[in-house]
Amino acid sequence: MATNEKTSILIIYTGGTIGMREDPVTKTLAPMKFGMLLDEIPELNKLGYSISSITFKPPIDSSNMTPAIWAQLAKTIQKNYTKYDGFVILHGTDTMSYTASALSYMLENLDKAVIMTGSQLPIGVLRTDGKENIITAVQIAAAKKEGRSVVPEVCVYFSSQLFRGNRTTKKDSAQFSAFASHNFPPLAKAGVDIVYNYDKINYPQNKGVLKINTSIDERVIIIKIFPGLSRRYFEALLQLPELRGVVLESFGSGNMPTSGWLINAVKNASKRGIILLNVSQCPGGKVLMGHYETSLALQKAGVISGRDSTVEAAVTKLMFLLGQNLSPEETKYYLNNNLKGEIEI
């Protein structure tokens, strides 16, 4: 905990649109120094918190996000965990949901808020959404009730709504409400007041020392199923050297073509120890393996249901579990279970 009376917040600036400014010559957006970003938000000084910052050098466009940077973020939080009451991560929007999902698995015994936010317009632009996003994210990260963090989770705050991070997906590149959580309600809504949905927030049962687990196996691919999917290409993907995991984006409630070659390709991959996880292409709803004949064959072939998981939560969960040196049976067991609120059982 913080050693002074003021609530202390650490802002971790990774990069993204929120910290960009337009080059007067090329008219392209490039990262600005974090001190310049804070100068654009003098309102933070009125909150009465002790605010510190760490800046990634160089700042990273979220399109360049990698598992190594996820690990860097987790280690940064662990290193500073006892010094601060809450954390705010400024991050580009394009891969924010991937990072939020990955961090939710990497951080064990988390009992402080880790709030990710960003913006659709740079902080220096007159109509920027960045100011409100940062100010409210800091307030939520600092919020306490009965001496504990109100939201001790990895979350995404954007456009007046706080979501569980591993339930989010970026839905829009042109509107301020860039994120959605189709299968799980917001943890809070910020209007005149910040109203928390306490019943939906995950609180740790037993408070322990924060631990991090940054082992990730990147030998995972995503295959989107579509009409006309080539047998040649599909089979080639499943035979990639060293491939360990596949997220299959299926139709509706988990359906795929019942072509014999496709089912056989999946079955053979499963027999070779490749883990196949089935998620829906639909933003809302969930995979119901065996509900239709078209998914029953997949279930028999060894495919695991991703239930109501987002693609982002599914692929990072698979990468995380494959990094733990588990047996295929153990990996499937944990995929079938809710680890950090990412699926509904």
Quick one: pLDDT at residue 19?
Answer: 79
Averaged pLDDT, 127-135? 93
Nearest to 256 by CA among 222, 298, 288, 284: 298
Residue type, 301: A
Quick one: pLDDT at residue 216?
Answer: 98
Domain termination site, one of 212, 230, 255: 212
Quick one: pLDDT at residue 325?
Answer: 95
Quick one: pLDDT at residue 124?
Answer: 77
- Mean pLDDT score of the chain: 93
The catalytically annotated residue of 14, 17, 128, 310 is: 17
Q: Does the pLDDT of residue 3 top 60, yes or no?
A: no
C-alpha to C-alpha distance for 91 and 117, rounded to whole angstroms: 6
Least confident of 80-84, 86-90, 123-127: 123-127
In a domain, 345, yes or no: no
In a domain, 320, yes or no: yes
In tens, the pLDDT along 201-252 reads 999 887 789 999 999 999 999 999 999 999 999 999 999 999 999 999 999 9
Are 183 and 230 members of one domain? no
Are 268 and 188 members of one domain? no
Percent of the chain with pLDDT over 70: 96
Are the beta carbons of 86 and 112 closer than 8 angstroms? yes
At 292, which CATH number?
Answer: 3.40.50.40
Instruction: Tell me the pairing of strands 245-250 and 275-280.
Output: parallel
Q: How many domains does the chain have?
A: 2
In a domain, 342, yes or no: no
| Residue 145, φ and ψ in degrees, nearest 5 | -140, 125
Are 294 and 235 members of one domain? yes
In tens, the pLDDT along 32-79 reads 666 776 777 888 889 999 999 999 988 888 999 999 999 999 999 999
**Residue 292, domain extent:** 220-335
Q: Does the pLDDT of residue 265 top 70, yes or no?
A: yes
In a domain, 48, yes or no: yes
Quick one: pLDDT at residue 1?
Answer: 44
Are 200 and 243 members of one domain? no
In a domain, 344, yes or no: no
Are the beta carbons of 253 and 280 closer than 8 angstroms? yes
Domain termination site, one of 163, 182, 212: 212
Q: Quickly state the pLDDT bin for 153 (edges 50, 70, 90).
A: very high
At 114, which CATH number?
Answer: 3.40.50.1170
Are 96 and 238 members of one domain? no
Quick one: pLDDT at residue 4?
Answer: 47
Q: Does the pLDDT of residue 27 top 90, yes or no?
A: no
Domain termination site, one of 166, 187, 212: 212
Are 167 and 246 members of one domain? no
Q: Quickly state the pLDDT bin for 339 (edges 50, 70, 90).
A: very high
Least confident of 144-158, 217-231, 279-293: 279-293
Q: Over the chain, what HEC string results?
A: CCCCCCCEEEEEECCCHHHEEECCCCCCEEECCHHHHHHCCHHHHHHCCEEEEEECCCCCCHHHCCHHHHHHHHHHHHHHHHHCCEEEEECCCCCHHHHHHHHHHHEECCCCEEEEECCCCCCCCCCCCHHHHHHHHHHHHHCEECCEECCCCEEEEECCEEEEHHHCEECCCCCCCCEECCCCCCCEEECCCEEECHHHCCCCCCCCCCEECCCCCCCEEEEECCCCCCHHHHHHHHCCCCCCEEEEEEECCCECCCCHHHHHHHHHHHHCCCEEEEEECCCCCCCCCCCCHHHHHHHHCCCEECCCCCHHHHHHHHHHHHCCCCCHHHHHHHHCCCCCCCCCC
Are 226 and 183 members of one domain? no
In a domain, 341, yes or no: no
In a domain, 118, yes or no: yes
Global pTM reads 0.95
Quick one: pLDDT at residue 296?
Answer: 87
Q: Does the pLDDT of residue 2 top 70, yes or no?
A: no
Averaged pLDDT, 135-152? 96
Query: Which residue would you say has higher pLDDT here, 26 or 224?
Result: 224
Are the beta carbons of 34 and 161 closer than 8 angstroms? no
In tens, the pLDDT along 97-125 reads 999 999 999 999 999 999 999 999 988 78
Q: Quickly state the pLDDT bin for 161 (edges 50, 70, 90).
A: very high
Q: Does the pLDDT of residue 200 top 60, yes or no?
A: yes
Are 324 and 241 members of one domain? yes
Are 129 and 203 members of one domain? yes
Are 181 and 302 members of one domain? no
At a CB cut-off of 8 Å and minimum separation 6, what does 203 contact? 148, 152
- Is 99 among the catalytic positions? no
Quick one: pLDDT at residue 290?
Answer: 79
C-alpha to C-alpha distance for 127 and 176, rounded to whole angstroms: 11
Are 199 and 310 members of one domain? no
Are the beta carbons of 198 and 189 closer than 8 angstroms? no
In a domain, 3, yes or no: no
Are 63 and 122 members of one domain? yes
